[in-house]
Amino acid sequence: MAFTFNMAAERFKTRKQVIIVESNWISTAIYRTQLYADSVQPGFKTNFRHYLEARIDYYEAYRDTLKIQKAIDDADVYGRRLWAIAAQHSRINGNLSATNQMTTALNNMFDTANTRFWGEYERTPASILTLLFLLSVTAAFMIGYTSVEKGLFDWIRAVFFCSFTSLVIYFIIDLDRPRSGVINLDQHQKAITNLRGLLD
């Protein structure tokens, strides 16, 4: 049980880190628009604004699968537009350095978003959760059985064991479902929502 809890906690920690990494790459790409001519920057920033809103909507959709998919599709549309602008201006002499830096930032931005999506599917297998439930029930049964043999049921020990075991299993499940429950990623998501200020 301790091993499973630790693994769930590590996955949750990784999800937090991925959000921060994504935020860093989005902000880096936005800043790199300044490497282009003033006439080019508005096109970049308009699409960055839409892309950023799509990534914010992705998290704020919580467990609504339709909204999640729409946010992914929107981000894909505006991501392609950003890439098209960078590719178009890569053919202009003098933009080679700017394009190299922008494409690197865009690549990492897209890759991190993909890592974040698939990271949500990294959860404790159902078979292990089932085993934990069976282990808890068996242990509770043994506590009750040994207490009867002694002729005295230890309510304090039984209540503590059942409560503590249930709490641990609950948090294992909750850590693996950051879109719902008590433990979530709201605080770390602010790293992305705060990027709106870069596009004002």
Q: Where are the domains of the chain?
A: 2-123+184-199, 126-175
Compute the distance between CA of residue 140 and CA of residue 123 in angstroms, rounded to an integer.
26
CATH architecture of the domain covering 2-123+184-199: Up-down Bundle (1.20)
pTM for this entry: 0.86
Per-residue pLDDT of the chain (200 residues; tens, 9 = 90+): 788 888 999 999 999 999 999 999 999 999 999 999 999 999 999 999 999 999 999 999 998 999 999 999 999 999 999 999 999 998 887 888 899 999 999 999 999 999 999 999 888 888 888 888 888 888 777 777 776 666 666 677 777 878 888 888 889 999 998 888 889 999 999 999 999 999 98
User: By C-alpha distance, which of 192, 139, 147 is closest to 164?
Assistant: 139
Q: What is the model's pLDDT at position 53?
A: 97
Compute the distance between CA of residue 22 and CA of residue 75 in angstroms, rounded to an integer.
13
